[in-house]
Amino acid sequence: MRNEDLLIEIGTEELPPGLLKTLITEMAKNLGRELDEEGFGFKEIKLYGTPRRLATIVTSVSERQAERQIERRGPSIEVAFSKTGQPTRALEGFLKSCGIADADALGRLKSDKGEWVVFRENQKGKCITEKIQGIVERSLTRLSVSRPMRWGSRREEFVRPVHWIVALYGREVLDVELFGCKSSDISYGHRFMHPEPICINSAEEYVETCRAAKVIVDSGEREEIIKGKVREEADKLDGIVELEEALVEEVSGLVEWPEVLSGKFEERFLAVPKEALISAMKKHQRYFHLRTEKGELMNRFIAVTNIISKNPAVVIAGNERVIKPRLTDAEFFFSKDIEGGLEEKLHKLEKVVFQSEIGSYKEKAIRVSDVASFISRKAGWDQKKAARAGLLCKADLVSDMVEEFPDLQGIMGGYYAALDGEDNEICSAIKCHYMPNGAGDDTPSAGIGSALAIADKLDTLVSIFAVGGAPTGSKDPYALRRQALGVIRIILANKLDIDIKECLVETRRAILKSREELVRYHFDIDEVYEFIMERLGNVYQDAGIESDVVKAVRGQQGGIRDLSEADEHIKVIHAQKDSVNLRCLVALSKRVANILSGVDEELLPSIRRELYEGDAERNLDNRMQEAEEQVAEAGDAEAVLEILTRQAPVVEEYFEKVLVMVEEEEKRLNRLASVARVKKLFLAVADFRVLRLS
């Protein structure tokens, strides 16, 4: 059978840069799935795309579908045949629909529900030329396009108007017609540097043919070119560039032939906080900023262009001209914001709603202040500074700078607090209290900054859960999953010794204190606690730690209260998961659980030593007492696990020599209480039963 490479290219008007990678990936995925479902074999899928095209190459696609057996179920045997065994009208109708006359050509299909006649035939596969129209059409209609467009008089919709379609199987043009365009082997090069049509002879030649027409169709290659050229230009300027992946990807989605130019802006703008200048350059103009070796912002930028300029000076001047108003605005907003102190902005927060049922940001700031102070007291940090930072942390939300650059919330508050003469620790805490903003973002360092960040996130979690705003499915308007992950990451990164449940209770107290009418809401701390704990799996999954290890530690007596301690247990159990000692603990834990199955442990009596009948019971009692004391005094998780494994021989001896379920109730309950004591000791670390051993 013939196998050839398949190329599908959809030529469009400029695609949204933020959607380009998603569209490229989905189109390729959809094409692969459609080919597979239709029975066309293939080897590999290659993804391509630029601002003006989406393309997929599928290698070694079979020319014809695999032969398939078609099975059609007919009427049941009772309906198909009369009592004398003659075909009924129902069966005759089924035979006619199958194109046969003889009932003997039918088979039988049996199941628990009955027996039916069935028609089976081998269907010869169709050629790719016959099926490609439907394959491409379905692949494109299944793209995730939230706001599709219509153009001209056509009813079809797509993300942007379509101008050409290339569909090739080897060197053969396939017949596809969509969006008023008939497929061909004609594509188009760079809009300005090679606007003429180009002929694509085959999928194999696609990438290089486009390159010759000044189009780099591989988005990954464009990104690497951008990185290389930006670094090279930065070196020429004696600057250090930060190549943020999101910005590189976005810029790659704007160009087909990346080139770079550098420009500058007036030095006076460097008096404005650097984050504002960077945000203006990045968000509005997609420029790369430069720093000196000392980390200071330079008054230079690098722009990625889509053309080899004949007059670079003119292009640079244009880039410098368009950035100036943006920086001037930032300069104006900054000067206006510092006219009044940060504290003066607090009263304006009363009119800024955090959540309609919970109240304003002024009320939230007061609550966060209380909880940050509480956390700081528990952690041994300065309570007064934490409270002050909490009170001021939301004041910059009413500043002109944050209104223009929302991503600078907190950061600008830190600057304004410093200009007001606030303590450096307070300024730093305000600046970083939204951190971490995402999976790759840094966390605040230990100190009141961590206390403030945790307090802010817990306030959001507890209050939004109370008014029924818990995430459902993919909907999470308050980013509560991110808030919960942030709390975990801050505690673990700084090894904070704080009780998460105690902090949640304090948060609820602060919320109820802020508004009396909030007492009507159900503040379920356990629900919020479980929500936070469920995020633990995500944190450790990234570190390569299995979910069953996290589940085991979550199952410890009373649940996880100290995340830092739990972190140690998780890492130690993960490291020793396949050890003989841990296997022994798992086996013993399961045996203990089986014995106590159906037993209400809370109703078991206290252990009475006078009921012991042999050394095995006394030995277990002595070793349990020693182990409980040692666990309480142990300095780390590894030592605790070692203490538990040392108890295995005496526990095994107990089960070997002592019959727990004796007939005499008094002795039976006493022995069950001893077994429950073993269980409690193990559960101080983890529920070892849930560990999956290889």
Name the more confident of 14 and 106.
Answer: 14
According to the model, what pLDDT value does residue 306 have?
Answer: 96
Tell me the pLDDT tens digit for each residue of 428-441: 999 999 999 887 78
Q: Position of tokens 């940090």?
A: 381
Name the more confident of 454 and 643.
Answer: 454
According to the model, what pLDDT value does residue 23 have?
Answer: 96
Residue 83 pLDDT exceeds 90: no
Question: Cβ(217)–Cβ(190) under 8 Å?
Answer: no
Dist. CA 517–CA 514, nearest whole Å: 9
Least confidently predicted of 272-276, 444-448, 502-506, 556-560? 556-560
Question: Cβ(450)–Cβ(499) under 8 Å?
Answer: no
Provide the 3-class DSSP secondary structure of residue 360: strand
Q: What is the 3-state secondary structure (H, E, C) of 134-176?
A: HHHHHHHHCCCCCCCECCCCCCCCECCCEEEEEEEECCEECCC
Read off the DSSP letter of residue 64.
Answer: B
Question: Cβ(27)–Cβ(139) under 8 Å?
Answer: yes
**Which among 345, 352, 422 is positioned nearest to 387, based on CA atoms?**
422
Residue 633 pLDDT exceeds 90: no
Burial class (CB in 10 A: 0-12, 13-18, 19+), 181: middle
Query: What is the pLDDT averaged over residues 347-372?
Result: 94
Question: Encoding tokens for residue 502?
Answer: 């105690």
Residue 524 pLDDT exceeds 90: no
Question: Cβ(354)–Cβ(360) under 8 Å?
Answer: yes
According to the model, what pLDDT value does residue 574 have?
Answer: 92
Please, which residues bridge with residue 173 across strands? 168
Tell me the pLDDT tens digit for each residue of 380-410: 999 999 999 999 999 999 999 999 999 999 9
Tell me the pLDDT tens digit for each residue of 477-490: 899 999 999 999 99
Number of residues assigned to the chain = 694
Across the chain, what does the average pLDDT equal?
Answer: 92
According to the model, what pLDDT value does residue 367 have?
Answer: 96
CA 664 vs. chain centroid, Å, equals: 57
Least confidently predicted of 5-9, 131-135, 216-220, 535-539? 535-539
At residue 411, φ and ψ (nearest 5 deg) are -60, -50
Tell me the pLDDT tens digit for each residue of 433-473: 999 988 778 999 889 999 999 999 999 999 999 988 889 88
According to the model, what pLDDT value does residue 520 have?
Answer: 76
Question: Cβ(8)–Cβ(136) under 8 Å?
Answer: yes
Residue 492 pLDDT exceeds 80: yes
According to the model, what pLDDT value does residue 396 have?
Answer: 96
**Pure H helices in 348-499:** 361-379, 383-392, 400-404, 411-419, 424-432, 448-466, 480-494
Residue 12 pLDDT exceeds 80: yes
Least confidently predicted of 176-185, 500-509, 540-549, 632-641? 632-641
Residue 649 neighbours by CB under 8 Å, 6+ apart: none
pLDDT above 90 covers what percent of the chain?
Answer: 71
Number of Cβ within 10 Å of residue 679's Cβ equals: 19
Tell me the pLDDT tens digit for each residue of 215-234: 999 999 999 999 999 999 99
According to the model, what pLDDT value does residue 437 have?
Answer: 86
CA–CA–CA angle 337, 435, 251 (5° rounding): 80
Residue 637 pLDDT exceeds 90: no
According to the model, what pLDDT value does residue 389 have?
Answer: 97
According to the model, what pLDDT value does residue 502 have?
Answer: 95
According to the model, what pLDDT value does residue 438 have?
Answer: 80
According to the model, what pLDDT value does residue 461 have?
Answer: 96
Least confidently predicted of 38-47, 117-126, 524-533, 656-665? 117-126
Would the pTM count as exceeding 0.75? yes
Burial class (CB in 10 A: 0-12, 13-18, 19+), 338: middle
Residue 68 pLDDT exceeds 90: no
Name the more confident of 243 and 65.
Answer: 243
Read off the DSSP letter of residue 284.
Answer: I
Q: What is the rounded radius of gyration, in angstroms, for the C-alpha atoms of the chain? A: 35
**Which among 286, 233, 285, 278 is positioned nearest to 259, based on CA atoms?**
233
According to the model, what pLDDT value does residue 577 have?
Answer: 86
Sheet containing 240-241: order of strands: 240-241, 288-291, 297-305, 259-264
Q: Position of tokens 């304006």?
A: 348
**Which among 420, 402, 414, 399 is positioned nearest to 444, based on CA atoms?**
414
Question: Encoding tokens for residue 385?
Answer: 């500074």
Provide the 3-class DSSP secondary structure of residue 49: strand
Query: What is the pLDDT averaged over residues 283-298?
Result: 95
According to the model, what pLDDT value does residue 5 have?
Answer: 97
Kindly give the pairing relationship between strand 297-305 and strand 259-264.
antiparallel
Domains of the chain: 3-65+127-212 (3.30.70), 68-122 (no CATH), 219-337 (no CATH), 343-534 (1.10.3210), 568-690 (1.10.730)
Which of 41-45, 124-128, 661-665 has the highest mean predicted lDDT (pLDDT)?
Answer: 41-45
Question: Cβ(307)–Cβ(257) under 8 Å?
Answer: yes
Kindly give the pairing relationship between strand 172-173 and strand 162-169.
antiparallel
